[in-house]
A and B are shown apart, each in its own frame.
Chain A
Amino acid sequence: EAGVVQSPRYKIIEKKQPVAFWCNPISGHNTLYWYLQNLGQGPELLIRYENEEAVDDSQLPKDRFSAERLKGVDSTLKIQPAELGDSAVYLCASSQRATRDEQFFGPGTRLTVL
């Protein structure tokens, strides 16, 4: 079974530029999460989806961050415009309804903003 897929793995951009990250969860997983991981820290939740509905986006900085999961499968997280402080690893995770506590993480996208 394939795990959570994320792309790109690495992205370098200049500040004020837009950037987007893509995530494909494990097949059959209804719940999808985006986390932010700063260097030397644990992941922090940005947004949680149940199918196509964002049920918890309280930690998402909505002035510059947006996310979508249009068909309830893959998801895109966007930053526009990027700031220097956005440099971090962006992790996607998914879980299934039956054992929904268990979250499985993708490899992450490492973003560097210059």
Chain B
Amino acid sequence: GENVEQHPSTLSVQEGDSAVIKCTYSDSASNYFPWYKQELGKGPQLIIDIRSNVGEKKDQRIAVTLNKTAKHFSLHITETQPEDSAVYFCAASIGLGGGADGLTFGKGTHLIIQP
């Protein structure tokens, strides 16, 4: 089955700086890669996703890049703000053509924004 590795487990950055979280996956059939933000006591919230026919996607301060050859994808947050502090999860699945499969998640990155 799919295996998703996520690094780092904890990331502390100064407010206003950029943060980068990286993930690798094992199953070359995976073609859907979402990122979730989870705040304490809440369920994961989808913040951005990318499909394998796209190399990069951006939404305001958040961007995701995908390298299918190397089987890795990254989340980039620019101009970080205190409200960005949370745990971020990457995930992978064989989406669309393979059906609405369950997601395989990484272990999460605790992002801390220092004021």
Which B residues lie within 8 Å of A103 (CB)?
34, 46, 103
Min Cβ gap B79→A in Å is 26
Q: How far is the CA of A102 from the CA of B108 in the complex (A)?
A: 19
| Known pairs A31-B100, A48-B102, A101-B32; A4 contacts B43 (CB<8 A) | yes
Q: Kindly supply a per-residue 1/0 record for chain B positions 13-56, scoring 1 wherever the CB is within 8 Å of any chain A CB and 0 otherwise.
A: 00000000000000000001010100001111110010100000
CB within 8 A of B101: which of A35, A56, A105?
A56
Q: What is the bound-complex CA distance between A42 and B110, given in angstroms?
A: 12
User: Across the interface, do B100 and A43 meet the contact criterion of CB distance under 8 Å?
Assistant: no
Of A40, A42, A55, A106, the residue contacting B91 (CB under 8 A) is: A42
Residues of chain A within 8 A (CB-CB) of B95 are 100-101
Per-residue CB contact flags for chain A residues 91-104 toward chain B (1 = under 8 Å, else 0) read 10101000011111
Give the most central of B6, B36, B44, B99: most A CB within 10 Å: B44
Is A14 engaged at the interface, CB distance under 8 Å to the other chain? Answer: no
- Asked whether, in the complex, the Cβ of A42 is within 8 Å of the Cβ of B108, the reply is yes
Closest to A9 in B: B41
Task: Write the nearest CB–CB distance from B107 to chain A, whole angstroms.
Answer: 5
CB within 8 Å for A41 and B108 given contacts A48-B100, A50-B100: yes
Bound-complex Cα distance A108 to B42 (A): 7
Bitwise, B99-115 to A at CB < 8 A (1) or not (0) is: 11111111110000000
Which residues in A have some Cβ–Cβ distance to B below 8 Å?
4, 31, 33, 35, 40-45, 48, 50, 55-56, 91, 93, 95, 100-108
A-B complex: 4 closest residue pairs judged by Cβ atoms:
A42-B105, A45-B102, A105-B43, A100-B100
* Chain B interfacial positions (CB closer than 8 Å to A): 4, 6, 32, 34, 36, 41-46, 49, 51, 89, 91, 93, 95-96, 99-108
* Given A56-B102, A108-B42, 4 further pairs, Cβ under 8 A: A42-B106, A44-B105, A95-B100, A100-B100
